[in-house]
A = this chain, B = another copy of it.
Amino acid sequence: MARLTIRLDFDSGASIGPGKVRLLETIDRTHSIRKSAEEMGMSFRQAWLLLKAIEETFGEPVIATSRGGARGGGSALTALGHAVVARYRRLEAAAQLAGKTEMDALEASSRLARPASRGRRLPRKSPKPA
């Protein structure tokens, strides 16, 4: 089945999409920015910049970091962080449901693709601009 991914652009110019949301979800699970970055194949700095961008979008922290303690501290989502993830995932689910007819039709068309076909397809090499 076709899978839908959503990106939201706000009036402010800020945006939120699958990468930022998955980072929040991964921090929620691992309680570690470093581990989450590793798991997602990005540097600690990249992850940190994404978190900073989300924070600037919403004006409040989306993660809280504690130091020390019996479990050695760690990062957790704030209430806002949880709300952003939940709303994005609900939006995605609603969109997936609402767009099912069109998605199924597009998926069905894509299944008709016959890679071996040599009909009227574009030539392998790009022609000169015309």
Contacts and interface: CB of A to CB of B under 8 A. Distances in A.
Interface of A: 1-12, 14, 16, 32-34, 37, 44-45, 48-49, 51-52, 55-61, 64-65, 67, 73-75, 80, 83-84, 87-88, 90-92, 94-95, 97-99, 102-103, 105-107, 109-115, 117, 119-122, 126-127, 129-130
Chain copies in the assembled complex: 2
A58 B59 CA distance: 43
Contact of A95 (B4, B87, B122): B4
20 contacts: A1-B11, A2-B10, A3-B8, A4-B6, A8-B106, A10-B107, A14-B113, A51-B122, A55-B122, A56-B113, A58-B109, A58-B112, A59-B109, A60-B120, A75-B130, A80-B109, A84-B109, A87-B105, A91-B103, A97-B98
